[in-house]
Amino acid sequence: MHPRLFFRPERCMLCLSCVLACELNSLAISDAREIPRGRRPLGRIAMTFSRGTPWPRKCQQCTTAPCVEACVTGSLVRQEGKAGILHRPETCVGCGSCLLVCPHGAPSYDEREERMFKCTLCSEEEAPACVRACQSRALVYREPNLFAWDKKKTFARELGRVHEGD
Amino acid sequence: MSLFAGGYAGRILYVNLTDGSIEKRPLERDFALRYVGGRGFSSRILWDELSPGTDPLSPDNIVILATGPLNGTPTPSASRLIAAAKSPMTGGLGDASSGGYFAPELKYAGFDAIVFKGRSPDPVYLWVEDGRAEIRPAKRLWGQRIHETSALLKEEIGDEDIHICAIGPGGENLVRYACVVTDEEGVNGRCGIGAVMGSKRLKAIAVRGSLDVGIADPKRFKEGVDAYRETLSGEVWTDVLRKLGTPNLVAHRQKLGIWGAKNFQRATIDGWEKISGETFREKFLQKVMGCMGCLVRCRRYSAIKEGPLAPTYTKGPEYDTINALGAKTYITDPAVILRAHHLCDEYGIDEQTAGSSIAMAMELYERGILTKDQVDGQELVFGNGEALLHFIEKIPFRKGFGALLAEGTKIMGQRLKADYYAIHVKGLEVDASDPRSLPTRALTYSVATRGSCHLRGFPYIDEFIKPEEAMAHFGTTAVSDLQALEGKGKMVAWSENWITLANLTGLCLFAWYRSRTFPMLIRRGLELVSEIYGAATGLPMTPEEFFRCGERVYNVEKLFNLREGLGREADYPPERFFREEMPDGPGKGSKLRSEDYERLLNDYYEARGWDKKTGVPTPEKLKELGLS
């Protein structure tokens, strides 16, 4: 199975490094001071904070994706070799059907280019920019079975520690 | 175009709410060097531009939001905003500070401060963005609580990332101690600045900025900031604050027995564990949060998820929350305290004064001075959480007995002919702790220029200064003796000048003032900060000159108060502290002795270079500070 993006809210400090990294990535720059004046960069991850819990709003890379079904130009496709939905900007007309059907509100509208955009897990790169930027490892890019396995091991270890006191 | 190489934005926004005119005035270099920023700017502008005797709730009062030169730079914890005006509570200088993200954002929008004058004919808010500002109608927002106000503003402006200072119904209804709430989280709580905004029909200020805050000498700046950060990593206080927030002080207050519980009738609390920092962390904490650029992260976000007061989601609580809404009213139900705190933030009233006023009313009720039909039929006894919550809902709207509670303890004392039970200095309630066992604390709280305040000075020096350091700095080893009175006047005066510096730069006290050694207070607070200031602004500033700015600002504030008729007689603690002994705890039997206090006050005035009888700064002192 291919890696997917997981979020652990108890580790999130709301530093927004992930948001910044995604924006810089979209402009293909590495220094925030190079952001062109007056131009709001495209962000494909947004941090929200609700009732004490942080949560990143981003594309969940659904296995059965409503956006792929809804896209009128076929610009959204399942990626070969990666567990993600690829958005092809060249053929996108910006109709917003994908946004309409997405239960997460993941796609956004790019006013400059007059088309949609969304997270593609930084398909050109080793690991997503947001994950590389996260200092507390709240964002994790891992194969789902391995992620589940890590969680089970941690739980077992904690359980063992609790019972050591018995 | 700013004439500063960095630090300052170089512009002060003047907004006339009467005629809707807006002016951008340049920040003068000389003004910046003499007053630095923050409270320095607001106090001096209030001195220069406000006529004495002005009614604080009239259009002639002035409200100022002021940042410091380090807000918006990468200095750790440079997040603080000052809100100032002539206080409707004291009739003297009023200011309050808050953390969060507003002050840096105002710098990114290109302004060092905003000065509001006049009164708008209709409710308005100010929108500030990248070098320009606009007054906009706030009809839809008027009457809304803080949470709704923020949501509506974000929707109207179309940007989730704006930062907002707002008043709630409390400020709109001119509750005397209404406050300003920043981003639903930080509160410029004391002195009634929210009421002044309400009297001007100024509902909110919203800001978004994308300009740069310059750094004149990046290499020198980085060295200074790295050294500064280094001094914070070793501090025990940093770790304690991150784990428990300010509520960590609950255990400390109980141990020393210095609560002002039951309106200062008790110094210890039975069942205090139920409202300790540990309890709040275990039962209610959702997330540890922080302000801009802060590595301490003392903020809390808490929730009540079960029981009759669920659901409640709120930032906090702070130690002062527990003190005012729990200790003073003798309520040890943490959920009640949290819920009351949440309501105070939503309605925009200062929880300190709200708790103090209700506590005073509780004592009057128990003594039979207030009867049940006078207090909305409530059983207004200490420990009654239901009564507390009932009145927190009434005060913002001045309903029923809430109308009198909305005036604060000083006026309650006058109207009910019960001044003795009003525990305040100059009209601002005594907040931190009971100073009867340590007269130096009483001095600090009573001479503070905004009314009773424990953060205007730093008397805790005598807890850790070594005898040789005391001799070198204050001329006597007695300053290192906790119980001694000698030299303490001088110590308090020095500490006031020193602690003011944080309020001038925009730095947060928590990342600045606590230390286990006296040399560190000087190293971090004076030497490193003046170094960072010089590197950021490109302006020359030695530690001595920097300290002098603190003294200068403090003297301007004293002059302001004197001009408003607050003389020596206003620099005294409440009579209760002289008449009654502490009833319990380690300090049992202590009370302030008149001759001790007179001596401390005289020494303090002398150390400050003020006339011993009147407290008026002498012509020599004014000349020395360049104020004549």
Q: How far apart are the first and last CA of chain A?
A: 40
Q: Are strands B81-86 and A115-117 parallel, antiparallel or unpaired?
A: unpaired
Give the tokens for residue A25.
């990535």
Predicted confidence (pLDDT) per residue in B284-320, tens digit: 999 999 999 998 999 999 999 999 999 999 998 999 9
Question: Over 70: is that where the pLDDT of B187 sits?
Answer: yes
Give the tokens for residue B434.
């009971």
Whether A51 contacts chain B with CB within 8 A: yes
Residue of A nearest to B289 (CA): A13
Contact B92, B566 (CB under 8 A): yes
A-contacting residues of B 8-27, CB under 8 Å?
none
Residues of chain B positioned with their CB less than 8 A from the CB of A13: 290, 297
Q: How many CB pairs under 8 A join A and B?
A: 19
- In angstroms, what separates the C-alpha of B304 from chain A's closest C-alpha? 10
Q: Name all domains of chain B by residue range, CATH numbers in brackets.
A: 11-208 (3.60.9.10), 258-423 (1.10.569.10), 437-624 (1.10.599.10)
Contact B176, B407 (CB under 8 A): yes
Nearest-by-Cβ selection for B301 from A37, A38, A52 = A52
Whether B286 contacts chain A with CB within 8 A: yes
At B55, is the pLDDT very low, low, confident or very high (cuts 50, 70, 90)?
A: very high
At B584, is the pLDDT very low, low, confident or very high (cuts 50, 70, 90)?
A: very high
Instruction: Identify the weakest region by mean pLDDT among A50-54, B61-65, B371-375, B590-594.
Output: A50-54
Mutate to test the interface with A, among B215, B287, B295, B342 (most CBs of A within 10 A): B287
Whether A32 contacts chain B with CB within 8 A: no
B242-277 CB burial, b ≥16 within 10 A, e <16: bebbbbbbbeebbebbbbbbbbbbbbbbeebebbbb
Contact A89, A117 (CB under 8 A): yes
Burial of residue A94 (number of CB atoms within 10 Å: 0-12, 13-18, 19+): middle
Look-up of token digits 């400390």: B252
Residues of chain A positioned with their CB less than 8 A from the CB of B287: 14, 52-54
Contact B304, B335 (CB under 8 A): yes
Q: Name all domains of chain A by residue range, CATH numbers in brackets.
A: 1-58+119-166 (3.30.70.20), 59-118 (3.30.70.20)
If one compares B236 and B324, the residue with the highest pLDDT of the two is: B324
What pLDDT, on a 0 to 100 scale, did the predictor assign at position A51?
87
Q: How far apart are CA B325 and CA B339, in angstroms?
A: 10
Give the tokens for residue B122.
């209709």
Q: How far apart are CA B556 and CA B49, in angstroms?
A: 13
The conformation of residue B121, written as its DSSP 8-state character, comes to S
- In angstroms, what separates the C-alpha of A15 from chain B's closest C-alpha? 9
What pLDDT, on a 0 to 100 scale, did the predictor assign at position B465?
95
What pLDDT, on a 0 to 100 scale, did the predictor assign at position A164?
74
Q: What is the DSSP string of A107-124?
A: -EEETTTTEEE---TTTT
Residues of chain A positioned with their CB less than 8 A from the CB of B286: 51-53
The conformation of residue B325, written as its DSSP 8-state character, comes to I
Mutate to test the interface with B, among A13, A16, A20 (most CBs of B within 10 A): A13
Residue of A nearest to B130 (CA): A38
Whether A52 contacts chain B with CB within 8 A: yes
Look-up of token digits 């494909």: A44
Whether A161 contacts chain B with CB within 8 A: no
Q: What is the DSSP string of B513-546?
A: S--SSHHHHHIIIIIIHHHHHHHHH-----HHHH
ipTM of the complex: 0.85
Predicted confidence (pLDDT) per residue in B140-174, tens digit: 999 999 999 999 999 999 988 899 999 999 999 99
What pLDDT, on a 0 to 100 scale, did the predictor assign at position B114?
98
Whether A14 contacts chain B with CB within 8 A: yes
Residues of chain A positioned with their CB less than 8 A from the CB of B301: 52
Contact B179, B349 (CB under 8 A): yes
What pLDDT, on a 0 to 100 scale, did the predictor assign at position B303?
97
Question: Over 60: is that where the pLDDT of B1 sits?
Answer: no
What pLDDT, on a 0 to 100 scale, did the predictor assign at position B295?
87
Predicted confidence (pLDDT) per residue in B453-471, tens digit: 999 999 999 999 999 999 9
- In angstroms, what separates the C-alpha of A51 from chain B's closest C-alpha? 6
At B243, is the pLDDT very low, low, confident or very high (cuts 50, 70, 90)?
A: very high
The conformation of residue A125, written as its DSSP 8-state character, comes to S
Contacts of A42 (CB under 8 A, 6+ apart): A23, A26, A108, A110, A117
Residue of B nearest to A51 (CA): B313
Average pLDDT value for chain B = 96
Q: How far apart are CA B159 and CA B287, in angstroms?
A: 25
Whether A39 contacts chain B with CB within 8 A: no
What pLDDT, on a 0 to 100 scale, did the predictor assign at position B512?
87
Q: Determine if the peptide bond prior to B317 is cis (ω within 30°).
A: yes
Radius of gyration of the CA atoms of chain B, in A: 23
Q: How far apart are CA B206 and CA B460, in angstroms?
A: 38
Asked whether the beta carbons of residue B303 and residue A51 sit closer than 8 angstroms, the reply is yes
Handedness of CA B129, B134, B135, B137 (dihedral sign): negative
Q: How far apart are the first and last CA of chain B?
A: 32
The CA distances from residue B278 to B248, B345, B348, in Å, are 7, 23, 27
Whether A165 contacts chain B with CB within 8 A: no
Whether B210 contacts chain A with CB within 8 A: yes
pTM, entire model: 0.94
Whether A37 contacts chain B with CB within 8 A: yes
Contact B264, B423 (CB under 8 A): yes
Angle between helix axes B277-284 and B236-244 (nearest 10 degrees) is: 40
Look-up of token digits 């400020």: B171
Residues of chain A positioned with their CB less than 8 A from the CB of B303: 51-52
Of the candidates B227, B300, B240, the one whose C-alpha atom is nearest the C-alpha of residue B514 is B240
Return the SS3 of B305.
coil
Host H or E run for residue B251: helix B249-256
Whether B622 contacts chain A with CB within 8 A: no
Residues of chain B positioned with their CB less than 8 A from the CB of A37: 210
Asked whether the beta carbons of residue B286 and residue A52 sit closer than 8 angstroms, the reply is yes
Asked whether the beta carbons of residue B289 and residue A14 sit closer than 8 angstroms, the reply is yes
Q: Are strands B299-304 and B424-425 parallel, antiparallel or unpaired?
A: unpaired
Predicted confidence (pLDDT) per residue in B72-121, tens digit: 999 999 999 999 999 999 999 999 999 999 999 999 999 999 999 999 99
Give the tokens for residue B74.
């990468």
Asked whether the beta carbons of residue A53 and residue B313 sit closer than 8 angstroms, the reply is no
Over range B548-577, report the average pLDDT.
97
Q: What is the DSSP string of B425-460?
A: ETTEE--S--GGG-HHHHHHHHH-BTBS-SSSS-TT
Whether B313 contacts chain A with CB within 8 A: yes
Intervals of chain A under pLDDT 50: none
Q: How far apart are CA A67 and CA B374, in angstroms?
A: 64
Instruction: Identify the weakest region by mean pLDDT among A35-44, B169-178, B440-449, B602-611.
Output: A35-44
What pLDDT, on a 0 to 100 scale, did the predictor assign at position B408?
97
What pLDDT, on a 0 to 100 scale, did the predictor assign at position B260?
94
Asked whether the beta carbons of residue B303 and residue A53 sit closer than 8 angstroms, the reply is no
At B412, is the pLDDT very low, low, confident or very high (cuts 50, 70, 90)?
A: very high
The CA distances from residue B1 to A4, A35, B8, B493, B537, in Å, are 48, 21, 11, 39, 15
Give the tokens for residue A115.
């088309």
Neighbour tally for B233: CB within 10 Å: 9
What pLDDT, on a 0 to 100 scale, did the predictor assign at position A83?
61
Residues of chain B positioned with their CB less than 8 A from the CB of A51: 286, 303, 311, 313
At B374, is the pLDDT very low, low, confident or very high (cuts 50, 70, 90)?
A: very high
Question: Over 80: is that where the pLDDT of B2 sits?
Answer: no
Of the candidates B262, B259, B590, B577, the one whose C-alpha atom is nearest the C-alpha of residue B432 is B259
